Structure 1
Amino acid sequence: MSDQDLDGFFSTARVSGRAEAVTLGGESYREDLYHHDDPILADWRGLGFREASARKRRPDFVQELLGDWRELYEEPFRGITIDGVVRDDVWRLAPPSSPDPRPAEAATGLLGMLPPDLGERVRYPLDAPQWRAWSNPEFVIHEVGLRLEELPDDAARAALGVVAASLSPEGFERVAEAMELNAFLGDLTDLPSLMNARSYWFSLFGEPSPGGAWGWQLFGHHVAVNFVSVAGRHVVAPVFLGAEPALSDGARPPLFEARQVLAVELASSFTQEQRAGAVVYTSVLDPAMPAGRLHPADERHVAGAFRDNRVVPYEGLQADALDERQWDLVRAIVEDFHQLLAAPQRALTMREFDARRAETYLSWYGATDGSEPFYLRVHSPVVLAELDHHAGVWLANKLPAAFHVHTTLRHPNGNDYGKAYLSQR
């Protein structure tokens, strides 16, 4: 069956199984740039984000996606599980003795500088459903809080100052680089009004306090970060970070290169027996995948926007089958996923991860030598972390490529948005 166009950007190629391998070529995104006069770009030029979003939502394909996502958004929150049952033995709130005051101070400073109308728009109750309204396409599904590009420069900087004060320096650098890569894509396509470094929504939840319970959310194209502080313990989940292109021929720093190098090193080290267990599908478009496993927007990842309650059974290789060097590589990958957390908070989170080694599973789709696009998932009672190579949206590659990367991070068993900790206050 030939590939079919779905809405001008998506085709059935990204969800169609194929017997032949999806191989990597030179992997320069520049080979897949549309000409600036191509209608796929030219028809959007000059549109603001609201007008473009309204047009992007019109096709039947997108309306069907939005309907599915709306139903998921309206479900009561439970959390990601392996079988539909949230385990109550996983998360135990252990507040630090000296909560870091800087995130709350930065948030209070932002509120103090905003005029009353913007201060009202940026704030939500701690239990507001808008926590779960984030999404990662470039078109807007839900407007939550304040749009950075609509703010005065000092207010936008203050909002990003809250993000910087809450995350590790290297974590904030990664988030900022993902936002800059969005601007880079806007420059490549000559669509800066749709994709720029401030095409993002920012909001505050609860009353900022070092030892209290509050949080913030930042989301937009290829960036969604949810930060919650409960009695000084920080949760940064769910997280969605991606880029198209993530590898930019030196024009911008590569966003996930270190993580992908670790992943290929790990997969290349598998023994024959380990490979048989870890490799769930031999290709990212393996025709053996069951119906519905490939999603036209999410492709292989299972923990993206609106998937707060998804049932995701374990698959792949149990971590007990790995040797210590391989386990160290898994730990390095998981720690890289948690890089956004401040170092002391990250150490606490990694301690929780280490305690669940016997219940940790690693799954891999694709060749294990780096010659093909791949999908990686690390999954345990306390983490679900994914890296997936995607087909193009604003670039022309119809099949997954290593320069378009999506990553997700979740806290299964009900601690996304810090909700398990919040229930223990």
Structure 2
Amino acid sequence: MSEHSSHNDIDDFFSSDRVAGRDEAIELSSKSYREHLIEHDDPMLVDVRGMDYEQFADDRYQAPFLRDLLEYWRGLYDEPFVGITSDGERQEGVYSLPAGVSSDPAPAAAASALLDLLTPHQRAKLCYPLDAAQWRGWSNPEFVFFRIGLRLEEQSDAVVHAALAVIEASLSPDGYARVVEAMALNGYLGELVDLPTIMNDRSYWFALYGTPSADEPWGWQLFGHHVALNFVSVGGRHVIAPVFLGAEPALSDDERPPLFDAREQLAIELAESFDETQRAEAVVFASVLDPAMPEGRLHPADERHVAGAFRDNRVVPYEGIRASALDDAQWSLLRRVVEDFLLLTEPQRAQALADVDAHRDETYFSWYGATDGSQPFYFRIQSPVILAELDHHAGVWLNNRLPARFHVHTTLRLPNGNDYAKAYLAQWAARSAR
């Protein structure tokens, strides 16, 4: 057993260090992520090299930790949908679907073009009813749990390009660039560890829900390692939530653009702007492994992020500083951070930001770690209509045992029942039944 494997004492991929409280500060190293590359002949890599995604999934399923995790996920998947809440009670009336508005026809047109390329068998695998349970089966690890839609790496170039065209038509130019860069970084990681058949820029599932239309509700879903998006068009509003975007490495020595650096710099600027009283409220824990964290706050797979795969019904209490205690300049910075999470086209992004503005006094910002960027950190923005978080993680395919800025997870949710646009869809159904 290699040195790397012998230290990963939860299983070959996860060490207990990532969830162990420690009093000392976790300083960010100035070293490149390349200093943390696992040796090419490490058994962790050698034992799975050459496997396809199904063989790798079968191999990973043998790990007791993973079997327990998947059993837990399955239980969460089987729960009736409620939505993320702050106290276990869904707050009603926070979402309002506009009346008599048609949606941008471009995403539906691109989806129809994709369907025209497919065989009946491919269509049967790709398409689900709008109310299908499979919406909630997405996940972000490199191993497969639910198999939903078409696996892009198994499709022709024409089909892949048509699927990407659906995504491009649905997102802002910046949003689309970020998503395809996250997919490309997955391929880059596969090259770094010489596992291209497990991690590549097409190792993703794509599905359609409902019938693509500018007037009737429909949606699509993309998910795989470090990328998960759920898009719904309904009654003139586009919802892209839940979203999971991440990367390892997220910073790649100028070989690829940094995925979240601009967002992190905005968040640091906001955190550094706090006066002593504001800082005392906003900084919930002194570090990302603060031993003061309550039992259960850290998870070996999720670390600190609370809104990832299968967390559709999680109760996430508010913490940190309330936005009513921020001045206008600070609120502007917070709003710019939120905007960077939104992948929407205009005017959809403006409408989503207006929803956030309407709940300014109910918005909270929380921070874990030093605020000057010298340490790994976690932050969360949470209100009745948004939950957005960024977390620095320990290595999985790199061997850093403690969190670092080159492994990042981010999530976006619409609390109180509007993930997958479910609140809007309920309003649409009620309106249509009149």
SS in 2 for 1:50: helix
| Selected match of 1:285 from 273, 282, 289 | 289
Aligned-residue offset at 1:41: 1.2
Q: Which residue of 2 aligns with 1:80?
A: 84
Query: How far apart are the structure 2 equivalents of 1:138 and 1:257?
Result: 23
**Number of aligned positions between the proteins:** 423
Q: Which residue of 1 aligns with 2:431?
A: none
Give runs of aligned pairs for residues 21-420 of structure 1, distance below 5 A. Answer: 21-95=25-99, 97-338=101-342, 340-420=343-423
Aligned-residue offset at 1:6: 1.2
SS in 1 for 2:254: coil
Normalised to the residue count of structure 2, the TM-score between the two structures is 0.96
Cα distance change on mapping 1:323 and 1:201 into 2, 3 Å: same
SS in 1 for 2:96: coil
Conservation of the 8 A alpha-carbon contact between 1:83 and 1:312 = yes
Conservation of the 8 A alpha-carbon contact between 1:96 and 1:233 = no
Query: How far apart are the structure 2 equivalents of 1:3 and 1:17?
Result: 17
Q: Structure 2: which amino acid aligns with 1:156? A: V
Deviations 1:151-206 (A, max 9, x none): 01101111111101111111111000000000000010011100000000000001
SS in 2 for 1:25: coil
Query: How far apart are the structure 1 equivalents of 2:15 and 2:66?
Result: 12
> Where does structure 1 lack aligned partners over 5 or more consecutive residues?
none
SS in 2 for 1:423: helix
Aligned-residue offset at 1:232: 2.5
Q: Structure 1: which amino acid aligns with 2:354? A: R
Aligned-residue offset at 1:95: 5.0
Aligned-residue offset at 1:98: 4.4
Cα distance change on mapping 1:188 and 1:3 into 2, 3 Å: closer
Q: Structure 1: which amino acid aligns with 2:380? A: R
Conservation of the 8 A alpha-carbon contact between 1:27 and 1:402 = no
Runs of 4+ residues deviating >4 angstroms: none
Deviations 1:65-98 (A, max 9, x none): 1111110010000000011111112011015744
Deviations 1:357-393 (A, max 9, x none): 0000000000011110000000000000000000000
Deviations 1:91-114 (A, max 9, x none): 110157442110001111111110
Conservation of the 8 A alpha-carbon contact between 1:374 and 1:389 = yes
Q: Structure 2: which amino acid aligns with 1:349? A: A
Conservation of the 8 A alpha-carbon contact between 1:27 and 1:403 = no
Deviations 1:25-53 (A, max 9, x none): 11521110011111111111100000001
Query: How far apart are the structure 1 equivalents of 2:31 and 2:371?
Result: 17
Q: Structure 1: which amino acid aligns with 2:221? A: Q
Query: How far apart are the structure 1 equivalents of 2:135 and 2:85?
Result: 19
Aligned-residue offset at 1:4: 5.8
Q: Structure 2: which amino acid aligns with 1:312? A: V
SS in 2 for 1:372: coil
SS in 1 for 2:110: helix
Q: Structure 1: which amino acid aligns with 2:367? A: W
Conservation of the 8 A alpha-carbon contact between 2:103 and 2:233 = no
Query: How far apart are the structure 2 equivalents of 1:302 and 1:367?
Result: 20
Query: How far apart are the structure 2 equivalents of 1:399 and 1:11?
Result: 9
Query: How far apart are the structure 2 equivalents of 1:240 and 1:139?
Result: 16
Query: How far apart are the structure 2 equivalents of 1:336 and 1:250?
Result: 21
Query: How far apart are the structure 2 equivalents of 1:416 and 1:357?
Result: 20
Conservation of the 8 A alpha-carbon contact between 2:283 and 2:368 = yes
